[in-house]
Amino acid sequence: MRLNGVKSKRKQQGFGLYDLLFWLGVSAGLLLAVLMLLRSVNNSKAGYTEAQNYNRMIADARAKYAQQGSFTGVNAASLINLGIVPETMVQGTNIVSGWNTPVTVAATNLYGTVGDGIEFTFTVPRDQCADFVTNAAGSTARVRVGGTVVKDTPNGVNTIDVGALATQCDARAAGNVVVALAQGR
């Protein structure tokens, strides 16, 4: 059928605007899913990496301070000077975690004698708290999360109280939580 010499029905050629928008939407959705998965993997990796750094530091500190018989006088600068802190965590005389938060170090009374333990205090994103604590707890005698003791080997609690850990870490909440890890000589 012709109107003024023009065909009224045309054959569609190629993609139309709606087809293009549909495929752009599908592609954007897939890209978003991949980015969320990568973020989740990176978060778990960060908690694991920080726990491994802590485990190495605690083992090296225990070995270096063994001759002294106590951790009296230990601090961030002394651990850095002894080569105990990984270079990636050193900023001048300060220790900084992979989350770019400060890490403090001090002697503590763990088993009843002044300076018989060393305590590292990390500020950890809540969504990585549980992974960090569970990966670091194996080489730790006492773990405090948000001020609550979740493992206390000196007092006979050799495993993590998962309920208390869940309450204190609360991955759904925003912000950071303070995690203190202590180990003895």
Nearest Cα residue to 148 out of 115, 121, 179? 179
Residue 57 burial (C-beta neighbours within 10 Å; 0-12, 13-18, 19+): buried
Give the pLDDT confidence score for residue 19 in this predicted structure. 75
CATH classification code of 21-184: 3.30.1690.10
Q: What length does the chain have?
A: 185
pTM as predicted: 0.76
Q: Which amino acid, residue 131? A: D
Main-chain dihedrals φ then ψ at residue 174, nearest 5 degrees: -85, 160
Distance of CA 123 to the CA centre of its chain: 9
Give the pLDDT confidence score for residue 35 in this predicted structure. 66
Give the pLDDT confidence score for residue 36 in this predicted structure. 66
For 173, the enclosing helix (H) or strand (E) is none
How many Cα atoms occupy the beta-carbon half-sphere of 9 within 13 Å? Answer: 1
Give the pLDDT confidence score for residue 147 in this predicted structure. 93
pLDDT along the chain (185 residues), means of 10: 54 70 76 64 71 94 91 95 95 94 95 92 94 92 95 91 94 92 91
